[in-house]
Chain A
Amino acid sequence: MISSGRKYLTAGLLSWQDCLAYRANAAIWALVDGCGSMVMALIWLSVFRDRGEIGGYSLNQMITYYLVASAVSLLTTPHMEYNIIWEIRQGLLSGYLTRPADRYTMHIVSETVWQVMKFLMFLPSYLVVCWFLRRYIIITLTPLNLLFFCSAVLLAYLINCGMKMLLGSVAFWVTETRGLFQVLECLWGLLSGEILPLSLLPIWLTVIGGFLPFKYVVWFPTELFLDRVPVQEAVLGLGLQVCWAVVLLVVSRLVWMRGLAVYEGVGG
């Protein structure tokens, strides 16, 4: 167990070295992922002129919502599914399978390291935007809220890992799956609360979103940060996050194993 942990720690450190070599790339992807929410925050700034509250959000809450949501989204959204389809399509997976490390775990480890690097590269531009919008930012975090928020961010990452591994595993059966990824990314954007706080969406969309895990990856942690969730609901939400994380990680693992059984390596 310890040697296995050390193995993945070493793999993580190697990934970190790799990330350092590609830090410009990390900065670019961070900007690509994070810019959208910033633009929306600016639009709300214009929309709120002469208005005290929209959909239960004050201007300060709305701006803080988008700033926190963009950081949470950037930190908790890995994109290992693209690496997985690349490895399967090019036959590169065959080489990895001969190594004494589980490829499923390796994907999560290397992507986690990449996420940290991406977030670090995003921080300077993020802080500049926060500085410009500083008079709109409200932080009412209590220690309990902070604990809830950090737990929710961690669980959101695990939920996303499960979803993305599951999505990537589809490539064992379907050659070109990027179209499918696009559809899910779109649903993710709308129902996770990245585009809009969920309470502003039409009711029928909110109802559909209630049965899906998306709202627990951005909206729920961000609402916890804004202190808009009562303690009981927060505990319930964290419990549901744990359930979604376990279900998605187990299902994705099973699908991955099943996929390996039908995998036929292409190329050398």
Chain B
Amino acid sequence: MRYRKTATAGKPTSKPMWKPAFAPLLKYPRLAFRSAGLCLSREMQYRLHFWGNTFAGVLWTGMYLVFIEVILSHTGSIAGWDRPAMYVLYGTYMILEAVAGMIIMPNMIKLTEYVRTGELDLLLTKPIDTQFYLSVRHWEFAGTGRALIGLTAVAYGLKHTLASGGGGSVLPSPALHPATLASPAILSWLSYLVSLVAAFLLLYALWLLSVLIIFWVIKAEGLGYLFVPIMQIARYPISAYPPLLQAAFRTVLPLAFVAAAPSSALLGRATPAGALVSLVVAGLFLLISRAGWLFALRHYSSASS
């Protein structure tokens, strides 16, 4: 390696460069982006797998759309949600499922593997918060096609909701009057986005809580997938379930705040305060999952030799 002598070489630097107080925290987003980049390049090595997964994601989306369409063709609505509203709900769910499949699921699956094989030992020694590191280390981009379909479904549903003057008689909320739909559009979208972020954080917290059992039940490779069917409950309106389950989905397992809450915000079925409630619920479950993580970590006994 050649060394090029410069005028400043050898001289002491005049002043240490000023760094903002939050500078050390920047390593967190930087790590997340670097991990994402590395995972993307690795995924691109297996093109058939990538495109196969992308195509499969689109097919799965279409398949459940067929299920919903078949029901709607016979009934017109599902638990008070008519076709446009169902498209908004389903589209929102697809966006969340795609994002969760991109970052939450691969990391949760890997977490079970790390605990099972004892690889967690090494990760605990890294100079960064282990929970954060384990949550952003693996990315899978093959499912992003579903997010695009989800966005299309939301746009389609919203367009037809507006065209029908706010969803017709099956949507009982007075907030759905065309005037209210048109005027606070920005507020509705803002509430939607806030609820969407809250739903993502909530999904992360719930998924992590479901996976933490691995610290006690070591021989459970499938644990990372356990939340997949649970999350699918949120694909349909919560009001479609029996009353006892509805109560559970609004409290102990708050799936009502996953797809239904953002959709309600966008359709004008909920007030903007609903978005704040979603944030509070997500924050609460994030705290619980953090406490659960720290508790589980205290019970971790390495599996390696």
Contact = CB atoms under 8 A, between A and B. Distances in A.
Given A32-B229, A178-B53, A179-B48, A190 B219 contact: no
A46 B59 contact: no
Interface in B36-74: 46, 48-57, 59-60, 63-64, 66-67, 70-71, 74
Contact of A39 (B75, B221, B222, B233): B233
B236 A43 contact: yes
Interface string A178-197: 11101101110110000110
Nearest to A50: B75
A255 to B, nearest CB: 18
Contacts of B79: 46
Contacts of A35: 229-230, 232
A183 B78 contact: no
Contacts of A196: 66-67, 70
A192 to B, nearest CB: 11
B63 A190 contact: yes
A250 to B, nearest CB: 26
A130 interface: no
B48 A24 contact: no
B133 interface: no
Interface residues of A, number: 41
A31 interface: yes
Interface in A34-48: 35-36, 39-40, 42-47
Interface stretch (A138-146, A169-177, A215-223): A169-177
A22 interface: yes
B217 A180 contact: no
Contacts of B56: 179, 182-183, 185-186
Contacts of A55: 70, 74
Given A186-B59, A186-B63, A42 B240 contact: yes
Given A35-B229, A43-B71, A21 B66 contact: no
Contacts of A47: 71, 74-75, 78, 240
Interface of A: 21-22, 24-25, 28-29, 31-32, 35-36, 39-40, 42-47, 51, 54-55, 174-180, 182-183, 185-187, 189-190, 195-196, 200-202, 205
Interface of B: 46, 48-57, 59-60, 63-64, 66-67, 70-71, 74-75, 78-79, 142, 217, 219-223, 225-226, 228-230, 232-233, 236, 239-242, 245
